[in-house]
Amino acid sequence: MNIMDKFCLKGRKAIVTGGAQGIGFNYASAVAAAGADVAIADINGEKARETAEQIAGEYHVKAMGIQADVTSPEQVERMCREMAEEMGRIDIAFCNAGISINVPAEEMTYEQWRKVIDINLTGVFLTATAAGRYMIRQGGGSIINTASMSGHIVNIPQPQVAYNASKAGVIMLTKSLAVEWADKNVRVNSISPGYIMTDLIRGHELIPRWTELSPSSRMGNPEELQGVALYLASDASSFTTGSDFVVDGAYTCV
Ligand code: NAD
Q: Where are the domains of the chain?
A: 10-245
Residue 214 Cα, ligand 1 centroid: separation in angstroms?
21
Residue type for 21, please? Q
Q: What is the pLDDT of residue 53?
A: 98
pLDDT at 48: 98
Mutate to test the pocket of ligand 1, among 77, 146, 150 (most ligand atoms within 8 A of CB): 146
CA torsion angle for 145, 147, 151, 156 (degrees, to 10)? 180
Ligand 1 atom index nearest CA of 118: 18
Global pTM reads 0.98
Could you tell me the distance, in angstroms and rounded to a whole number, from the CA of residue 42 to the centre of ligand 1? Answer: 10
CA of 151 to the centre of ligand 1 (A): 15
User: Pocket of ligand 1, candidates 15, 42, 51, 78: which has the most ligand atoms within 8 Å of its Cβ, to mutate?
Assistant: 42
Nearest CA to ligand 1 atom 3: 22
> From the CA of 128, how far away is ligand 1's center (Å)?
16
Pocket around ligand 1 at a 6 A CB cut-off:
17-18, 20-24, 42-44, 69-71, 96-99, 119, 123, 146, 148, 193, 195-196, 198-201
Bridge partners, 244 (sequence order)? 190
User: So what's the pLDDT on residue 108?
Assistant: 98
The residues annotated as belonging to the active site are 148, 163, 167
CB 70 within 8 A of CB 50: no
Q: What is the pLDDT of residue 1?
A: 85
Question: Could you read off the pLDDT tens digit of each residue along the chain, which spans 254 residues?
Answer: 899 999 999 999 999 999 999 999 999 999 999 999 999 999 999 999 999 999 999 999 999 999 999 999 999 999 999 999 999 999 999 999 999 999 999 999 999 999 999 999 999 999 999 999 999 999 999 999 999 999 999 999 999 999 999 999 999 999 999 999 999 999 999 999 999 999 999 999 999 999 999 999 999 999 999 999 999 999 999 999 999 999 999 999 99
Q: Domain 10-245, what fold?
A: Rossmann fold (3.40.50)
Residue 195, phi then psi, degrees to nearest 5: -70, 120
Query: Distance (Å, rounded) from C-alpha 115 to C-alpha 120?
Result: 8
**19 with 51: CB under 8 angstroms?**
yes
List the one residue out of 14, 22, 64 whose CA is nearest residue 230: 14
